[in-house]
């Protein structure tokens, strides 16, 4: 198995529904914590993964992040 195919198999492990947690340190040194969900799906082109995180972080509005990871 090549290094690239190993990397692809590792990324494919992200596919699915996840419960996620986070800790964010602000520029003033305060740590904010949060939790939420992440959904990761293989892109139709099968050349990457599309993920969306929907989180609630203390002291902030709802936080949504979309990421694309390519093979």
**3-class secondary-structure state, position 16:** strand
User: Per-residue confidence at 4, pLDDT binned at 50, 70, 90?
Assistant: confident
Q: Where are the domains of the chain?
A: 3-70
Q: Is the pLDDT of residue 7 over 90?
A: no
pLDDT recorded at residue 16: 96
Whether the Cβ atoms of residue 43 and residue 10 lie closer than 8 Å to each other: no
Q: Model-level pTM?
A: 0.75
Q: What is the pLDDT of residues 11-33, one digit of tens each?
A: 889 999 999 999 999 999 999 99
pLDDT recorded at residue 58: 92
pLDDT recorded at residue 11: 85
Nearest CA-CA partner of 41 in 12, 63, 9: 12
């Amino acid at each position: 198995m090549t290094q690239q195919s190993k990397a692809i198999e590792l990324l494919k492990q992200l596919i699915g529904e996840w419960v996620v947690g986070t800790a964010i340190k602000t520029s003033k040194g305060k740590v904010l914590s949060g939790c939420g969900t992440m959904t990761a799906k293989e892109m139709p082109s099968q050349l990457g993964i599309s993920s969306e995180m929907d989180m609630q972080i203390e002291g902030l509005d709802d936080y949504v992040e979309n990421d694309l990871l390519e093979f």
